[in-house]
A and B are shown apart, each in its own frame.
Chain A
Amino acid sequence: MRVGVLALQGDFREHLLALEECGVLASTVRRPSELAAVDALVLPGGESTAIANLARSFDIFEPLKARIASGMPVYGSCAGMILLADRVLDAAVGQETFGGLDITVRRNAFGRQVDSFETDLEFAGITNPPVRAVFIRAPWVESVGATVEVLATYEHAVAVRKGELLATSFHPELTGDNRIHRFFIESVARPALERAAVK
């Protein structure tokens, strides 16, 4: 399995490292040709407005949207969660997302940087020890569609999954704990790719 990390802006190197530590091939994605070469994708933390702008400018916005719509497994952290969301509250004027995940996300919902925090979090299926979650100007999930599963909650939903799409408000790539990346690879991406191969 080759997993790409969208590398237009943000902490994509930390995601690459986490994926490599999980034993998959990981590569940066900035161009449509690089997107075509990967089986799954991570949307990193960063500024969701800047990333969407750059994706438009370099003609990878529509190809990426189409790949997500056709079932490519994707994990988004923080800005990545916003980019996966079908609906965004407190968005910048004209802000676009790739969409695909039937959730409404509120940007910077936990506040500004002085309110950024870390905490222990109970994450469905990942326990003992709990996940140390780092929230940085983080969004939360204001509401979810009927078939979206909520995996972790802190005041609001902060980790959600629907089929092959996974999103967290927080940044597991900053803690050196790769359990959420492993969960994405083994429990989200691999089964989805195997199902697709059978078809």
Chain B
Amino acid sequence: MSQNVGTARVKRGMAEMLKGGVIMDVVNVEQAKIAEAAGAVAVMALERVPADIRAQGGVARMSDPDMIEKIKAAVSIPVMAKARIGHFVEAQILQSLGVDYIDESEVLTPTDMENHIDKWNFTIPFVCGATNLGEALRRINEGAAMIRSKGEAGTGDVSNAMTHMRSIGGDIRRLSALREDELYVAAKNMQAPYDLVKEVAQTGKLPVVLFTAGGIATPADAALMMQMGADGVFIGSGIFKSGDPASRAAACVKATTFYDDPKVLADVSRGLGEAMVGINVADLPVAHRLAERGW
């Protein structure tokens, strides 16, 4: 019998399997193994975590294929990798390497100041960042099979992630309250396709899985995002820039599963050593704010 690869159902379905889990940024094989042993549902293979990209500056690009392949060989869980916004050739390369998901990410230096990648052209699924519902639906219209709220990567400050989850959730709740004949203008105002706006208004949720990213540094941060309606969390710098990555990784995994049980959260928050040194988003010059990249 014939088989179909790369269908929307297969791409979105992959994200469904990650729900309730933690996806961790790793920069080498050793970290990838720690993440897998701690119960990560996937790893994001990259050369520098966002906190280092921020500290070192310069142009941030797709990782070295050698490094990605080593991580693929070292773990049995899915491996994701980042391409620059609009850099469809980096995405083609990552697809040929057989990574499991591509993050078209504002954490890397954007390549195209107007267009994102046409993600329907790929067999591999994409996750994209969003700060509000209109942005999320534009990415889904381009073929994104998973959305993550952006937050402000590499800060350890979860305030922007909170803002973006409130914004996406609030926009969805407002749409659900509109009359059907008001959805046309709603679509115009949020610069999103009418069909997707109508679908969200009817179902009360995004048509794809919604994770949270950007600034999550503690088990409590992860649980907060889950209580705000996230399906799961990405943790970038928060784990391997902390004092005891293995313990913190395991604690964040447990907190994401028992996000609604304060007793468990108290238990897993004990004795984790130092959290990553944070940067207050409010102190960042506007030009250094990654969440504002993407259009």
- Determine which of A11, A30, A50 lies in contact with B253 in the assembled complex, contact meaning CB atoms within 8 Å: A50
Contact A10–B101 (Cβ < 8 Å) = no
B17 adjacent to A136 (CB under 8 Å): yes
Contact in complex: A54, B253 (CB < 8 Å): yes
Instruction: Report whether B13 and A54 are in contact in the complex, using a CB–CB cutoff of 8 Å.
Output: no
Partner of B9, one of A47, A95, A120, A134: A134
Residue from the list B6, B41, B254 in contact with A47, Cβ < 8 A:
B41
Q: List residues 70-119 of chain B with CB under 8 A from any CB of chain A.
A: 75-78, 95, 98-101
Residue of A nearest to B125 (CB): A113
Measured in the bound complex, the distance between the Cα atoms of B9 and A117 in whole Å is: 9
**1/0 per position for A1-15, CB-CB distance to B under 8 A?**
000000111111110
Q: Which stretch, B18-26, B181-189, B235-243, B280-288, touches the partner chain A? A: B18-26
Interface pair B98/A107, CB less than 8 Å apart:
no
- A77: nearest chain-B partner, CB-CB: B17
Known contacts A118-B4, A136-B17; is-contact A46 B41 (Cβ 8 Å): yes
Question: What is the number of contacts between chain A and chain B, taking CB atoms within 8 Å?
Answer: 132
Would B98 and A112 count as touching, CB distance under 8 A? yes
B253→A78 contact, CB < 8 A: no
- Please tell me if the beta carbons of A113 and B124 are within 8 angstroms of each other in the complex: yes
Chain B interface size range: 35 or more
Q: Does B140 contact A (CB under 8 A)?
A: no
Tell me whether B194 is interfacial, beta carbon within 8 Å.
no
Question: How far apart sit A112 and B77, CA to CA, in the bound complex (Å)?
Answer: 10
The contact of B254 among A46, A57, A94, by CB within 8 Å, is: A57
Report the bound CA distance from A78 to B19 in whole Å.
Answer: 15
Q: Mark B1-45, 1 if CB is under 8 A from A, else 0.
A: 111111101100110111111000000000000001111111000
A116 within 8 A of B: yes
CB distance from B162 to the nearest CB of A (A): 23
Chain A residues 1 to 55 lying within 8 A of chain B, measured CB to CB, are 7-14, 30, 45-47, 49-50, 53-54
CB pair B257 A8 closer than 8 Å:
yes
Q: Chain B residues with Cβ under 8 A from A137's Cβ?
A: 14, 17, 78, 100
Is A79 at the interface (CB under 8 A from chain B)?
Answer: yes
Most chain B beta carbons < 10 A, residue from A54, A95, A175: A54
Q: Which residue of A lies closest to B40 (CB)?
A: A50
- 17 A-B pairs with C-beta separation under 8 A: A7-B20, A9-B41, A46-B21, A57-B39, A58-B264, A79-B17, A112-B78, A112-B98, A113-B101, A114-B6, A114-B124, A115-B5, A118-B9, A119-B1, A119-B3, A134-B13, A171-B16
5 extra interface residue pairs, beta carbon distance < 8 Å, beyond A9-B39, A92-B36: A7-B20, A45-B17, A47-B18, A117-B5, A120-B1
